[in-house]
Amino acid sequence: MKRRHPLGDVECNPETLALGLGYDPKLSEGSVKPPVFLTSTFQFESADAGRRFFELAYGLRQADPGEVPGLIYSRLNNPNLQIFEERLSAWDRTEAGATFASGMAAISTTLLALLRPGDVVLATSPVYGGTHYLLEHILPRFGITTRWVPAGSDAAQAMRAVAEEVGPDTVRALYIETPANPSNVMTDIAAIAGLARDLSVGRERPALTLVDNTFLGPVFQRPATLGADLIIYSATKFIGGHSDLIAGVVTGSRILLHHVLESRTIMGTMCNPFVGWLLLRSLETLSVRMRRQAKSARALATLLADHPAIERVAYPGMDHDDLAQQAIYDRQCSGAGSLVSFEVKGGQPAAYRVLDRFQIIRLAVSLGGTESLVEHPMTMTHSDIPPDQLERYGVRPGLIRLSVGLEHLSDLKRDLRYALAEA
Ligand SMILES: Cc1ncc(COP(=O)(O)O)c(C=O)c1O
């Protein structure tokens, strides 16, 4: 779905829309860039206008033909967030979006908006440690339980079996992260969405497919085109892209986003206007950054695969022996991204020796920024998850997660070789 650029009567690609969609310079003194709308509240032209804005915002009436919802208060709506949401949802091929204070705010607000006591979530494992904690420890307090299946080629089949066991009608959400953090294992989005459709037949509240698209989207993977209902991001990562903000986003259909936005308004989990403005700045270079980072990542993954200190490398599309994973990659990804997971021979002591020797690549959690980062998932980002569970899903003591940035490739190669020299 290409959309029309507001400055000319032409259909454009997402990279172009990221520089123009949703913003009219005439409303801001001709400023080419959207200003930061750093205001908590908006002045109404009249009491009647204020009343009408609230009626729309609170769903008390339908919009008249051509009526645009008015600006009220920055917990409900703000131009920086709205412009960003329009541009990202166009990229994702979805109808609407909602920006949040963090990826976790996006995930928790969305799940609380859609789930009720008694509902079951089927989720792939591993997922980001915070998401795992939310599903495993916090949502059960509200009567919402999660059943886990291994991420990967057989996830849809495994979920179908669990759905039969728990009762298909109780399953409200199929939650996947693909590629999974930190194992890089891919799950078939279309197969999961197909299962959700099967489970939804004849139901008033259908089963929904939710995809955490943080690692590849929207440049290399568009889950909505494969049948997913909601696309979730930690915008802290590639979308923000400079390791200078924390934010999250959800995109999907207007009707689902209506529920998500209702919860965001009442829980107050939106992001602030300045962060919204930073996200707009970052979206302009997203495609260029992700493509360049992915090119370097492939070169480093190849270097790692040939290195004697390395047990195993996981990089999407590079495991030619695993035909099922390769097929998923070919079907749903247009690029492999810039997260490389690799296992050092010698377990945790060897992995720590490597981590402590990097000189250019920084030892820090997070990913998707302009600088390269390494971390140890088992004892850092995923340390909330019991080690035996992590090992079952391929997250072993020797595993290091590398996020490749924009440094010169020759410097990164030298640093990686140096760090591995005494593994
Ligand atoms: C895949 C994934 N989803 C969600 C999150 C949570 O995002 P945030 O840290 O912005 O709350 C992270 C954070 O690392 C992540 O890697």
261 found inside a domain:
yes
- 84 domain residue, yes or no: no
CA angle 80, 214, 185 (to 5 degrees): 175
| Mean pLDDT of the chain, nearest integer | 96
Q: In testing the pocket of ligand 1, which one of 128, 338, 373 has its CB within 8 Å of the most ligand atoms?
A: 128
Domain boundary (260, 283, 306) is at 283
* Residue 130 and residue 274 in one domain: yes
Q: Calculate mean pLDDT across residues 352-373.
A: 98
What's the rounded Cα separation, in Å, for the pair 209 and 193? Answer: 6
Q: Are residues 150 and 277 in the same domain?
A: yes
Residue 174 falls within a domain, yes or no? yes
Mutate to test the pocket of ligand 1, among 100, 176, 215, 236 (most ligand atoms within 8 A of CB): 236
Q: Are residues 122 and 194 in the same domain?
A: yes
Same domain, yes or no, for 357 and 311? yes
Cα of 202 to ligand 1 centre, how many Å?
Answer: 34
Structure tokens of 221? Answer: 């993977």
Work out the percent of the chain whose per-residue pLDDT is above 70: 98
147-186 per-position pLDDT tens digit: 999 999 999 999 999 999 999 999 999 999 999 999 999 9
% pLDDT > 90, the chain: 92
Q: What is the pTM of this model?
A: 0.96
Measured between alpha carbons, how far is residue 97 from residues 32, 77, 90, 127 in Å? 23, 12, 9, 22
Q: Do 300 and 383 reside in the same domain of the chain? A: yes
4, pLDDT greater than 80: no
Strands (E), 238-327: 248-252, 310-314
- 218 within domain boundaries: yes
pLDDT at 8 over 80: no
In the Cβ-directed half-sphere of 154, how many Cα atoms lie within 13 Å? Answer: 7
Looking at the fold, whether 277 and 290 belong to one and the same domain comes out as no
Q: Does 403 share its domain with 363?
A: yes
Residue 209 and residue 301 share a domain: no
Fill in the DSSP letter of residue 213.
-
Same domain? For 98 and 199 the reply is yes
235-to-238, 255, 282, 283, 377 alpha-carbon distances in Å: 7, 22, 10, 10, 20
Q: How far apart are CA 106 and CA 268, in angstroms?
A: 11
Burial class (CB in 10 A: 0-12, 13-18, 19+), 119: buried
pLDDT at 45 (0 to 100): 97
Beta strands at 230-234 and 248-252: parallel, antiparallel or unpaired: antiparallel
Confidence of residue 319 (pLDDT cuts 50, 70, 90): confident
Residues 359-384 have a mean pLDDT of: 97
Of 283, 317, 346, the domain-final residue: 283
How far does residue 367's CA lie from ligand 1's centre (Å)?
A: 9
For ligand 1, atom 7, name the residue with the nearest CA: 103
Residue 392 falls inside a structural domain: yes
Nearest of 305, 210, 287, 225 to residue 256 by alpha carbon = 210
d(CA 230, CA 248): 13
The parent domain of residue 162 ranges over 94-283
Predicted confidence at residue 68, as pLDDT, reads 87
180 and 313 assigned to the same domain: no
Asked if residue 73 belongs to a domain, the reply is no
| 6-10, 22-26, 265-269, 407-411: range with lowest mean pLDDT | 6-10
- Take atom 16 of ligand 1 and give the residue whose Cα is closest: 128
Q: Read off the CATH number of the domain in which 228 is found.
A: 3.40.640.10
Note the pLDDT tens digit of each residue in 190-204.
999 999 999 999 999
Structure tokens given for 234: 């930690």
Q: Answer yes or no: is 79 within a domain.
A: no
Q: Which of 183, 234, 375, 395 to mutate to test the pocket of ligand 1 (most atoms within 8 A of CB)?
A: 234
pLDDT at 11: 82
CATH number of the domain that residue 353 is part of = 3.90.1150.10
Whether 142 is covered by a domain: the verdict is: yes
Same domain for 259 and 306, yes or no, is no
Helix or strand run (H / E) with residue 125: strand 120-125
CA 375 – CA 364 distance, rounded (Å): 6
Given 244, 267, 283, which residue is the final one in a domain?
283
* Statement to judge: residues 183 and 242 lie in one domain: yes
Tens-place pLDDT, residues 325-354: 999 999 999 999 999 999 999 999 999 999
Strand partners, 20: none
Total domains in the chain come to 2
Q: How far is the CA of 236 from the centre of ligand 1 (A)?
A: 7
| pLDDT score for 44 | 97
Cβ < 6 Å from ligand 1: which residues? Answer: 102-104, 128, 130-131, 177, 181, 212, 214, 234, 236, 246, 248
Query: How does DSSP assign 80-98, residue by residue?
Result: HHHHHHHHHHHHHT-SEEE
Of 268, 197, 276, 203, nearest to 235 by C-alpha is 276
DSSP run (H or E) holding 301: helix 286-305
Q: 32: pLDDT confidence band, cut at 50, 70 and 90?
A: very high
Enumerate the β-bridge partners of residue 339. Answer: 403
Specify the residue for token string 């689902």: 256
